[in-house]
Amino acid sequence: MDNDQDYRRARQKVRSIRGFYIHLIVFVLVMAFLLIVNLATSPVWWVQWPLFGWGLAVAIHAGAVFGLVGWLDSDWEEKKIKEIMTRKPSDKSGP
């Protein structure tokens, strides 16, 4: 049973990594397109705003997928699940 659970966890991690890479590729392609549009159509430089905003989202996504943000990784989830499961029903304290 542990091997099956380990396999599911590994498969979920691989899917998360794949999802991040898809996000990154779409980000790069769209930002390249927006840069070309900005350069071709407007003397005003505006492409940095979507670059910074979406770039921050990509960085947060990378942190969550690759464990750079400790409180978002699967170990944290497992610890929190165990904590909630072991609480007494009378313990109504929050997260």
Q: What single-letter amino acid sits at 9?
A: R
- Measured CA to CA, the distance from residue 88 to residue 92 in angstroms comes to 8
pTM of the entire predicted model: 0.69
Contact 34, 47 (CB under 8 A): yes
The domain segmentation of the chain, as residue ranges, is: 2-86
Closest of 62, 70, 64 to residue 21, by C-alpha: 62
Contact 82, 76 (CB under 8 A): no
Mind listing the pLDDT tens digit of every residue in the chain (95 residues)?
468 888 888 899 899 999 999 999 999 999 999 999 999 999 999 999 999 999 999 999 998 888 776 665 567 777 778 888 888 666 555 55
